Structure 1
Amino acid sequence: MTRTAVVIGAGIGGLSAAIGLLRRGWSVTVLERAPEFRPVGAGLVLQANGLRCLDALGVGQAVRDHGRPDVSGGTRRADGRWLARIPAGELERTLGTPALGVHRATLHDLLLGALPDGVVRTGARVTAVTADGEVTYDGPAGPQRISAGLVVGADGIHSVVRRTLWPHAAAPAPIGVRAWRGVTPPWTGDLVVAISWDPGAEFGIVPLTDGRVYWFAAVNAAPTDPDDGVPDRFRRWHDPIPALLAATGTVLRDDLACLDEPLATYVHGRVVLLGDAAHAMTPNLGQGANQALEDAVVLAAVADAPDGLAAYDARRRPRSQQVARASRAIGRFGQQLEHPLAVAARNTAMRLTPPRLALRTMARYAGWRPPAPPSGRL
């Protein structure tokens, strides 16, 4: 395999894969269909596994400088009553590093800044890709073709690469949840980090390092349901939820979907899938970006081995699909649960579960560590 790579998609997973491959001596080109990068998106939580990946890519400290470490938090009811609490620092003591709230645009800018000029080509819409590494795209200068020893499909849940080379794979499936996301201006009021549940509804709060607050709200809804904005029910929930909503300008809305039918392989010839293109999952475990980062560092570590792509598939597919199943189950147990008796049983179980047991369960997913490549570093 020639050590030239084309990465399709300049999101978090695609940029991370490009950084990792460059650090391993590959020649890399990233094709991004957007004509320019804009500070879009909201917040995300980098868990211990994701932060370790960023350390392996050489950008961990820069990200930590722009993130907000975890504080005390837990799970509440809509009226504010606590179902489970985790003291500040307990997550770090369990996993060795805290979770970190960061704006998605901030993380994207840091990853983009870690790449040399000219690696990323914007306005490049991929129109064809073959298993032997031929990529055709429409760019500012018209149709162009590029060949590579490795093609990385990191082009999201509606991946062109997956549709082209995995034509029999199931399309993304709606899960019956509508979500809204927003980021407040700098916040000066009291704040306790929490996920709050009501039958069929959820609200989450994540502080960001610059004083702003990222929040998300979700309710059970079909994609065909009318969209009247964030439901008024959240404005009657416990403080500071009504004030956070009132302070937010731009609100993003999504009808959530995932790859409900797992792929049989992430590899086709010289092409691999990465991130949401391979295993788009629900957000309930907060592992979407973290799993894309895992994909990136594993791919960079093994890609130049004789059986590197098979090793990537063997290492990443079982774990990422396990995380996706767990995230889907958590969603059904938490936000999507509506029957009063089931909700009452769930809340009782939450109150009776010791925090240390809940943290050990979280560590099953966030405790992962990147593999050491042959040279000992990426």
Structure 2
Amino acid sequence: MRTAVVVGAGIGGLAAAGALARAGWKVTLLEREDRLRPGRAAMVLWPNGVRALRALGLAGGLDSISTAVPPAGIRRPDGTWLVQPGVSEVESPPVVVHREGLHDAFIAGLGEQVDVRGGIEVKSARVSRDRPAVGDGRVTFEADLVVAADGADSAIRRRLVAGSTFASAGYAAWRAVIPWFRAPELPDGVPPHGETLGGGQRFEYHSLGERGLYWVATVPGALRPEPPAGQLALLRRWFAGWHPPVGQLLAATEADDLVQEPVGEVTPMPDSFGVPCGPGGYALVGDAAHAMPHHLAQGASLALEDVATLQTALVGGALGPALLEYGRLRRARIARVLQQSKKAAAVLQPRGRLTRVNPRNLDRAAAAATEWAGPTG
């Protein structure tokens, strides 16, 4: 029986652990936190991410936990339109889903072949003629395959590709879900989804149906050192005077709802996301391989694409060539999406005054980013 160690229990790590276990591998899942937690925010899944979920056999029940996001246009802070709502070039709208819903599906998909170890922060990775191995300074975990899903500051990537680091794009982002019992009622005429740009700042919100309301705010600058209550006070000040429902959403948010995140990318991009090592090797997935700014909201979808492609590449044959093929397919795909993300960034995060936005540029970038047809391309 082949063995695998998966490092990180986020979306990519849980999906990878379950996919390998269902394929007959003996899997050890290592997580830094003391137990598996779903996260407090929500996420957007584009059609490519939904296709990846289907390829992994995890899309069952998605309709019941997700909400479609139709083209909602883009406003200025005073509420006037930069881009009127219209028809997008993307084949179908993305959906927004609370992390708890996907987390439950992924946990159910782990099965009994996965040994979950909490409270382990991987700090080292062995690259030699021996089988790959990772350790936390106390215990070493060896396997035929190590899947690095340990985030943008991946310790495994730093060992495998020393020159690739996570670099800030000069922005910080906050996400929050306001639960249904605290969610404000949207004013008459205000749609359930919206996006607003102004002065380099961006505010986006989505209805989660009966689960509440989800919002994302992006602001120029570094991560804030203040405690969450101080960060929330700053957000309310920075977005004061913006059109409804921005103020209402921030007023209904509590400090414990906030999740602060850096905005940036792994640069330079690793030469390959699959690294043979002895008779086995390493696979980088998700942000560990290719973290990028969230202008196209593709993070979760790309991580799921990674896992679906890895699952297909590992069917039969030696691990070394399979990992190289995985790396070849994914690097070419990620390079295309990163190019589209930079095009979107020029539109969505300008530092100066916005006078007009060409919606076709955004639609083309989004359509190109969602073009992934399946795990073989």
Q: Which interval holds the TM-score relative to the shorter structure?
A: 0.7 to 0.9
Label 1:3 to 1:86 Cα distance change in 2 as closer, same or farther (>3 A). farther
Partner of 2:131: 133
Q: Which residue of 2 aligns with 1:313?
A: 327
2:335 is paired with a residue whose SS is helix
User: 2:94: which partner in 1?
Assistant: 99
Give the corresponding residue for 1:239.
244
**Offset from partner CA, 1:107-138 (integer Å, 9 cap, x none):** 22321221114432222232432234332435
Helix, strand or coil: the match of 1:339? Answer: coil
Deviations 1:25-50 (A, max 9, x none): 32222111211133433111011000
* 1:135–1:145 Cα contact (<8 Å) kept: yes
What amino acid is the match of 1:130?
Answer: R
Match of 2:208 in 1: 208
Shift of 1:308: 1.0
Name the SS of the counterpart of 2:175 in structure 1. Answer: strand
Q: Distance in 1 between matches of 2:334 and 2:115?
A: 28
Instruction: Show the counterpart of 1:23.
Output: 22
1:371 aligns with 2:375: yes
Q: CA deviation at 1:331?
A: 2.2
The answer to whether the Cα contact below 8 Å between 2:41 and 2:176 also exists between their aligned partners in 1 is yes
**How big is each residue's C-alpha offset from its partner over 1:196-239, in whole Å with a ceiling of 9 and x where there is no partner?**
10021110012213341110111211347875531513131111
CA deviation string 1:157-188 (max 9, x = no partner): 11111112222x23211111122221113243
Corresponding residue for 1:194? 194
Q: Does residue 339 in structure 1 map to residue 352 in structure 2? A: yes
Task: Tell me if the contact between 1:133 and 1:271 (Cα under 8 Å) persists in the aligned partners.
Answer: no
1:251–1:170 distance in 2 versus 1, CA, 3 Å: same
Take 2:259 and 2:365, find their aligned partners in 1: how far apart are those partners? 31
Worse overlay, 76-85 or 252-261:
252-261
Q: Partner residue of 2:292? A: 281
Q: TM-score normalised to the size of structure 2?
A: 0.86
In structure 1, C-alpha distance between the alignment counterparts of 2:225 and 2:4, rounded to whole Å: 42
AA in 1 matched with 2:194 = A
The one of 107, 113, 121 aligned to 2:108: 113
Q: Distance in 2 between matches of 1:358 and 1:223?
A: 27
Find the aligned partners of 2:265 and 2:148 in 1 and give their Cα distance: 17
Kindly state the Cα deviation for residue 16 of structure 1 after the two structures are TM-superposed: 1.1
Structure 2 vs 1, CA of residues 166 and 72 (structure 1 numbering), >3 Å: closer, same or farther? closer
Aligned partner of residue 147 in structure 2, secondary structure = strand
Please tell me the residue identity of whatever aligns with 1:189. Answer: L
Pairing 1:1-378 to 2, within 5 Å after superposition: 3-87=2-86, 94-95=90-91, 97-117=92-112, 118-131=114-127, 132-138=130-136, 143-167=138-162, 169-186=163-180, 187=183, 188-190=185-187, 191-192=190-191, 193-223=193-223, 229-249=234-254, 250-269=257-276, 270-304=281-315, 305-306=317-318, 307-335=321-349, 337-340=350-353, 343-344=354-355, 347=356, 349-350=357-358, 353=359, 358-371=362-375
- Structure 1 residues 11, 329: CA separation in 2 closer, same or farther (over 3 Å shift)? same
Q: What is the rounded CA distance, in whole Å, between the counterparts of 2:43 and 2:264 in structure 1? A: 17
Q: Structure 1: where are the runs of 5+ without partners? A: 374-378
Task: Give SS of 1:125's match.
Answer: coil
TM-score by length of 1: 0.85
1:61-119 per-residue CA deviation (whole Å, 9 max, x = no partner) reads 223321111235121111111222445xx56x952x43111112332232122111443
**For the structure 1 residues 212 and 49, does the alpha-carbon distance in structure 2 shift closer, same or farther, using more than 3 Å as the test?**
same
Rounded Cα–Cα distance in structure 2 between residues aligned with 1:233 and 1:145: 47
| Aligned 8 A contact 1:5 1:149 in 2 | yes
What amino acid is aligned across from residue 135 of structure 1 in structure 2? A
Residue 123 of structure 1 aligns with an amino acid whose one-letter code is G
CA spacing shift, 1:224–1:59, aligned 2, 3 Å = closer
CA offset at residue 368 of structure 1? 1.3
- Mark the CA change 1:239 to 1:288 in structure 2 (over 3 Å): closer, same or farther: same
Does the 8 Å CA contact 1:6/1:151 hold for their aligned counterparts? yes
Preserved contact between residue 56 and residue 297 of structure 1 (Cα < 8 Å): yes
Higher mean alpha-carbon deviation, 182-191 vs 292-301, is at: 182-191
Q: Quick one: distance in 1 between partners of 2:6 and 2:84?
A: 41
* Paired residue type of 1:182: A
Tell me by how many angstroms 1:333 deviates.
2.6
Structure 1 segments of 4+ aligned residues over 4 angstroms from their partners: 223-228
TM-superposed CA distance for 1:149, in Å, is 1.6
**Residue 229 of structure 1 aligns to which amino acid in structure 2?**
L
**Contact 1:101/1:206 (<8 A) preserved:** yes
Identity %: 34
1:213-270 deviation digits (Å, cap 9, x = unpaired): 1101112113478755315131311111111111111222233232132112222221
C-alpha separation between the residues in 2 aligned to 1:94 and 1:233? Answer: 32
Structure 1 position 372, deviation (Å): 5.9
- 1:127 and 1:133 map into 2 onto residues whose CA distance is 17
Is the CA contact 1:133–1:151 (under 8 Å) kept in the aligned structure 2? no
What CA distance in whole angstroms lies between the structure 2 residues aligned with 1:372 and 1:22? 21
